[in-house]
Amino acid sequence: MTMQLKEPIACPECRTKAIIVNASGRGPQMTAEEAAELGRARERMLARHKLIEGMIRNNEMQLKNESARGGAEIELECARRDVAQGVVGPGAEAELKRVTARLRGLQEEHQRLVAEREWLNASLLEFESGPSADEYQRSGHS
């Protein structure tokens, strides 16, 4: 069943307009082509939305990584200082190795996040500059 919208009418008691809906099915109807176009537009909007959500998650992870790297760099400098000052104990060398490995892992994660962010940016740019639904149809791709 389709619905037909009539012209808005003014409500004398209100400051808004009311719309009368005719659910008889005799009004303008959407063609199959229009429905398909609407479906493609919806799919395109959802795909773009997923890219943006990915960018938001990536940004959050980069901020967390940056904070963790800053902490690890401080720990590394403290461990290096302890080893340089001769604070020799069973834990000083082990702590230096542990913090060095942690920082290396965080730096690798940072590089992965940067590469992912670049891919997301390029994908969104390509998506934004790609053909619209009309251009896509006109070029014979429908």
Per-residue model confidence as pLDDT tens digits over 4-53: 445 555 555 556 555 555 555 565 677 888 888 889 889 989 999 999 99
Q: How far apart are CA 71 and CA 62, in angstroms?
A: 14
Q: For the chain, what percent of residues have pLDDT higher than 90? A: 44
Q: How far apart are CA 118 and CA 44, in angstroms?
A: 21
In a domain, 12, yes or no: no
In a domain, 20, yes or no: no
In a domain, 102, yes or no: yes
Number of domains present in the structure of the chain: 1
Count of Cβ atoms closer than 10 Å to residue 128 Cβ = 9
In a domain, 89, yes or no: yes
Asked if residues 60 and 37 have their Cβ atoms less than 8 Å apart, the reply is: no
In a domain, 67, yes or no: yes
Model-wide pTM > 0.75:
no
In a domain, 101, yes or no: yes
Count of Cβ atoms closer than 10 Å to residue 106 Cβ = 20
3-state secondary structure of 115: helix
Provide the residue range defining the domain that includes 95.
34-138
